[in-house]
Amino acid sequence: MIESGNIDNTHTKIDVICVHCRQVQTIILSKAGIEAYQKGVLIQDAFPELTAGQREMLISGTCDNCWKKFFGESE
């Protein structure tokens, strides 16, 4: 994960590289969410505005396309 920089006082932009296909995904995170996540708040509660695929990219470094390739579509 590579921090790209601040967007404003409340959000930051990061670039995350998929560990499998090397695709770069840019994700915008709230600074309040980052702080909450660092304090142990579950990722889905810290970043409810993100998709499940974006959250997985932050957790495991696996992009949505690779996830689907390895594990199939969710039901």
Q: Domain spans of the chain?
A: 2-71
DSSP per position, 15-68: EEE-TTT--EEEEEEEHHHHHHHHTT--HHHH-TTS-HHHHHHHHHS--HHHHH
The pTM for the full model equals: 0.85
What pLDDT score was predicted for residue 7? 75
* pLDDT by 10s per residue, the chain, length 75: 565 777 788 999 999 999 999 999 999 999 999 999 999 999 999 999 999 999 999 999 999 999 999 988 765
What pLDDT score was predicted for residue 75? 56
